[in-house]
Amino acid sequence: MAYDDQNIFAKILRGEIPAIKVYEDEKTLAFMDIMPQAEGHTLVIPKSPAVTLLDLDPEDAAYTIQIVQKVAKAIETALERKGIVLMQLSGEEAGQTVPHIHFHLIPSSVHQLGKHASQMGDQAKIVALAEKIKAAL
């Protein structure tokens, strides 16, 4: 699938719209999901322009998963809880709504997940959680 550089995560990467960031380096960005499926729901994205996991350069995939692991550890520490659902939707057919590949880190159980991308979270709460995660990184 062709990459649309007007997608919302591309805009976040270019600084055109805000995001509640927890981690950034030259190849990846991690930020809070604004419609969280659980408290602490965080997204990790590679900066390279790929729509799905299948399009992503394998080296970028290998690097990004290391950041996914790093952020997952920080989430567990920050929230003082165990158990993270790692979710990656590749393709509209799978329910993907933003066409820039991203990994969801959701500190929850698969049996207790909130509805996907359906309700805006409390911004102040999300910012406070982001501060805790940043401090644990």
Q: Which spans in the chain are helix H?
A: 8-13, 58-79, 123-136
Binder to ligand AMP among 33, 67, 75, 78 (CB under 6 A)? 33
| Helix (H) or strand (E) run with residue 43 in it | strand 42-46
Q: How far is the CB of 6 from ligand AMP (least distance, A)?
A: 13
Q: How far is the CB of 9 from ligand AMP (least distance, A)?
A: 8
The reply on whether position 65 binds ligand AMP by CB under 6 A is no
Positions marked active-site: 102
User: How far is residue 52 CA from its own chain's centroid?
Assistant: 14
Read off the DSSP letter of residue 56. Answer: S
**Which positions touch ligand AMP (CB under 6 A)?**
8, 19, 33-35, 89, 95-98, 117
